[in-house]
Chain A
Amino acid sequence: MSVTTHRPFRRWLTTTAAVFAAAALVVGCTSNEPEEDPDAAGETGGGDEAPAGGNDEPGETVTIGFSGPLADHGWLAAVNESAIAEAERYEDIELRTAEATNDASLQISQIETFINEGVDAIVLLPTDGAQLTEVATRAMDAGIIVVNVDREFSSPFAARTTILGDNYGMGVSAGTYACGLIEDNGIEDPVIAEIAGIDALPLTQDRSQGFADALDACGQTVDNRVAAEFTVESGEEQASNLLQAAPHIDIVWNHDDDQGVGVKQAFDNAGRDEFFFIGGAGSANAMRWIQDGEMEATVLYPPTQAADGIRLARLLAQNKGMSDLVQVEVPRRIVLNAPVVNADNVDDYMHLGFES
C-alpha cells in the first residue's frame, strides 16, 4: 500500500545516492590501486562495513525467497551460506529459505509455495535451469521478481536478472595465465595437462573450451586431458593415471579445488612437483597451498553469486538501481569475473576462500 505513495521520494533518494556513490567511486579510484580492490570482488562475511552508497540504507522490508540445490560440495555450501549471511546483514530483508534439494520437482513445488505466499522476490539457484524455467516464468507472471543464479533458465522471460559465474572465462583466465608462465619461464615445447570435471556438464565444456582457446592464442594445446567427477576420490584416481600418462608435465590445470584435494594427494603420493599447478574455484585449501608455495595459482569462480543475487533482489524489490552504474535500473545480466589468484594477491582473496 505504502509502496506506491513512497515511490517518487525513493527515486529521488536513489538518484542522490547514485551521485554520491559515483563521487565515492571517483575518489576511491584515485586513492587506491584500481586493480584487485577487494570491494570490487564483492565483500561478504569479511566483517567490513558495507560499501558506501545510499543503497544500503534500510528501506521498506522486502520478503525474499531463496532456494538452492543441495550443497553436496564445498563450493555450493559456501554459495548457500553466504546468501543467508548476506540476507542477515540487512534489517529490511525477511528471508524465506527453502530446504536445499537436488530434486527438481521438489524445488518447483518450493517456488510454487513462494508464489502462494506472495514473496516480493525469489533468488533461485536451480538444480537444473531448464526444468525450473516454467515455474520461474509463472512467478514472474505473478509479479514476483526472480533473480536467476549460476545455472541459467532456458527462457529470457523467466527471470528479471541473471547473475552468473564465468565458466568460459575461468578457462580463459587459466589458459592466459599458463601462456604467461610459459613465456616468463621460457619453457620450450611445454607439456600441458588438464584435469576437467564431469565432461557431460556444459560448465565443464565451457571451461575446457576457454582453456583451449586461450592456449591457442599463444600457440599451445592441451597434451593430456582427464575428467574426474568433482570428488576427492575421483580426483586422486584420475590424477594418478594422468601422471603415468605424462612422465613430464610443465603445467597442469585442475578445474575444481574440491576434487583438487585428491589431485594434490596424487601428486604428493607420486612425488611429482615439476609442474606449475593451477586450480579452479578458489577454495580455502587452494589458497593456503598458494600461500605455502605448493600451488602456483587458482582461478576464482565466486561462491558469492547467490549473496549478490540476494542484494540484487533487495534492490529490485525496493525499486532501487545499482548506485555504481549511471543506468537507473539493475542490469538484466551480470557475469562475474574469474580472476587468477596467485602468491601476489592471495591475501586479498583469502576471505572468499571456501572450506572444501
Chain B
Amino acid sequence: MSDQTPAAPASASGTPPADEHRRVEAAAATEGDTRSSFGRFMSSSAGRNFGLVIALLVLCAVGVATAGDRFASTDNMLTILRLAASVGVVSIGMTFVIIGGGIDLSVGAIVALASVWATTLATQRMAEDTHWIIMVFTALAVGVGCGLVNGVLIAYGGMAPFIVTLAMLAAARGLAEIISERRTQIIEVRPLIDFVNGDFLGVPVLVWIFAVVSAIGWVLLNRTTFGRRTIAVGGNATAARLAGIAVKRHTMMLYALLGLACGLAAVMLMARTTTGSSTHGFLWELDAIAAVVIGGTLLSGGRGTIVGTIFGVLIFMTLTNVFTLNNLDSSTQAVAKGAIIVIAVLLQQRVAARSDSS
C-alpha cells in the first residue's frame, strides 16, 4: 500500500539534478535558443525514443523511395501492423520481465505449446459444442500456467531466470511436439478465425489487440503501483524488499503476466495461420528481447519503456517488409537486422546520455 513510496522519492530525487544538468548544458551551448528547445524535445517521450523514431523514419523513407505506393499504401501499413501484432504482444510482456530484472527465453516455446493445446481435437470439439472462447481460454491458461512455473522456480526456487526459462524452452516445445505428434493441427472452428482475423472499423482485430495490449502495458507500467514496483524490483531487489515490496511474489507475477501475453499471442497466431503447431513462435524469444533492448530497456533491469518496445517491433517488421518489396534476399535482411540493432542502440544511448545524464 505505502510500499511504492520508496520508489517514488528515488525517481523524484533523480530528476532534479538531471534537469539541472540539462539546463547547465543548454546554457553552455553556443546556440542557446535551439539547444534549449532541442533539450526540451529530448526530454519529451518522442525525444527519449529519438533514435528509434529516426530509424523508423529512415526505413519508411527508404520504403517510399524504393517501392513508392506499394509501400505507402494503407494495405501495406496494415500488413506490417498485422504481422507485428503477435510478436508485439509478447514483446510488451517481455518488457515487464526485463524491467523487473529478469529474462525469459521460453516465450516462443510457450506460444507453440499454447497454440497446440488450444487446437487439439478435444479442445476444438469442446469449442464447437459451447463457444470458441474455450479455445482462447485454453491458450491463455496454458500461457499463464507456463509463466507461473517459470515464476515460481525463479522467485521461490532461487534459480537463475536464464536457466529456468531455458529449461522451459526445451520442455514446452517438447510437450507441444508430443501433443501434436509434430503435425500441424488445422483449426476447423471457423468463428474463432473469422473473428480474430476480421476487421473492426477498418482495422484488423489483430492490430486492435496489439493496440489495446500496448495501452494497458503503458498504463500498467507508468501509472500504477504495479509498474512502479516492477521498476523498483528490477533496479534494486534488495532495496525494494527492504522497502516492503513482496519481491518474490512480484517477480512471479511478472512471469505469469508474460505467460498470459504468450497465450494471447498464440491465439493471434492461430487465427493468422489457422493452425496450431509445435513450430510456431520459433526464435521469438530473440525477436522479443531484441525489440525490447532496441526500445531502450536496460537488460539489467530497472528502466524501460513500452513505447520504445513498440518501435523496436515495428522497425523489424518494416525492415522485412521493405526488403521484401525490393525483392532482396533473406541473407541481406539478416545482415541489415544486425546493423539496425547496433545503430539503434548506439543512437539510443547517445540520446539517453544527453537527456538523462545519469
B329 touches A199 (CB 8 A): yes
What is the bound-complex CA distance between A232 and B186, given in angstroms? 11
Inter-chain contacts of B273 with A (CB < 8 A): 232-233, 235-236, 261-262, 265
B residues 104-159 in Cβ contact with A at 8 Å: none
Q: How large is the interface on A (under 10, 10 to 19, 20 to 34, 35 or more residues)?
A: 35 or more
What is the bound-complex CA distance between A188 and B274, given in angstroms? 35
Inter-chain contacts of B79 with A (CB < 8 A): 240-241, 243-244, 270
A269 touches B272 (CB 8 A): yes
Tell yes or no: A36 within 8 A of B by CB.
no
Produce 1/0 per residue, B322-335, CB < 8 A to A. Answer: 00111101110000
A261 touches B321 (CB 8 A): no
* A interface SS class: helix
B272 touches A236 (CB 8 A): yes
Tell yes or no: B70 within 8 A of A by CB.
yes
Q: Which of B82, B277, B321, B325 contacts A233 (CB 8 A)?
A: B277
Tell yes or no: A356 within 8 A of B by CB.
yes
Produce 1/0 per residue, A187-218, CB < 8 A to B. Answer: 00000000000011000000000000000000
Q: How large is the interface on B (under 10, 10 to 19, 20 to 34, 35 or more residues)?
A: 35 or more
Inter-chain contacts of A245 with B (CB < 8 A): 67, 70, 324-327
Produce 1/0 per residue, A52-81, CB < 8 A to B. Answer: 000000000000000000011110010000
Tell yes or no: B83 within 8 A of A by CB.
yes
Tell yes or no: A128 within 8 A of B by CB.
no
Inter-chain contacts of B330 with A (CB < 8 A): 199, 226-227
Inter-chain contacts of A200 with B (CB < 8 A): 331
Inter-chain contacts of B320 with A (CB < 8 A): 237, 241
Known contacts A241-B79, A242-B324, A74 near B183 by CB under 8 Å? yes
A residues 273-323 in Cβ contact with B at 8 Å: 285
A77 touches B183 (CB 8 A): yes
Tell yes or no: B275 within 8 A of A by CB.
yes
Nearest B residue to A193 via CB reads B327
What is the bound-complex CA distance between A236 and B115, given in angstroms? 16
Produce 1/0 per residue, A115-158, CB < 8 A to B. Answer: 00000000000000000000000000000000000000000000
What is the bound-complex CA distance between A225 and B328, given in angstroms? 8
What is the bound-complex CA distance between A232 and B185, given in angstroms? 11
What is the bound-complex CA distance between A261 and B270, given in angstroms? 12
Nearest A residue to B206 via CB reads A269
What is the bound-complex CA distance between A44 and B331, given in angstroms? 39
Nearest B residue to A355 via CB reads B183
Tell yes or no: A224 within 8 A of B by CB.
yes
Tell yes or no: A229 within 8 A of B by CB.
yes
Nearest A residue to B277 via CB reads A232
Produce 1/0 per residue, B280-322, CB < 8 A to A. Answer: 1110000000000000000000000000000000000000110
What's the minimum C-beta distance from A72 to chain B, rounded to whole angstroms? 6
Q: Which of B184, B197, B329, B331 contacts A225 (CB 8 A)?
A: B329
Nearest A residue to B67 via CB reads A245
Inter-chain contacts of A240 with B (CB < 8 A): 79, 82-83
What's the minimum C-beta distance from B319 to chain A, rounded to whole angstroms? 11
What's the minimum C-beta distance from B304 to chain A, rounded to whole angstroms? 26
Max count, chain A CB within 10 A of own CB: residue among B75, B269, B273: B273
Nearest B residue to A199 via CB reads B330
What's the minimum C-beta distance from B355 to chain A, rounded to whole angstroms? 35
A262 touches B275 (CB 8 A): yes
Tell yes or no: B76 within 8 A of A by CB.
yes
Produce 1/0 per residue, B167-196, CB < 8 A to A. Answer: 000000000010001111010000000000
A237 touches B282 (CB 8 A): no
Nearest B residue to A269 via CB reads B197
Tell yes or no: B279 within 8 A of A by CB.
yes
Produce 1/0 per residue, A237-258, CB < 8 A to B. Answer: 1101111110100000000001
A244 touches B324 (CB 8 A): yes
Inter-chain contacts of B182 with A (CB < 8 A): 71-74, 77
Nearest A residue to B71 via CB reads A244
What is the bound-complex CA distance between A232 and B271, given in angstroms? 12
Inter-chain contacts of A14 with B (CB < 8 A): none
Known contacts A224-B327, A265-B272, A241 near B184 by CB under 8 Å? no
What is the bound-complex CA distance between A242 and B182, given in angstroms? 27
Q: Which of A226, A229, A238, A261 contacts B274 (CB 8 A)?
A: A261
Other contacts beyond A73-B279, A225-B329: 9, CB < 8 A? A225-B327, A233-B272, A233-B282, A236-B272, A237-B83, A241-B83, A245-B325, A262-B273, A270-B79
What residues make up the interface of B, taking CB atoms closer than 8 Å to A?
67, 70, 73, 75-76, 79, 82-83, 177, 181-184, 186, 197, 269, 272-275, 277-282, 320-321, 324-327, 329-331
Q: Can you report 10 A-B residue pairs in the complex whose CB atoms are below 8 A from each other?
A: A71-B182, A227-B329, A229-B282, A231-B280, A240-B82, A241-B83, A244-B73, A261-B186, A355-B183, A356-B183
What residues make up the interface of A, taking CB atoms closer than 8 Å to B?
71-74, 77, 199-200, 223-227, 229-238, 240-245, 247, 258, 261-262, 265, 269-270, 285, 355-356
Closest 9 CB pairs of A and B: A241-B324, A356-B184, A231-B279, A227-B330, A245-B325, A244-B76, A232-B273, A262-B273, A236-B273
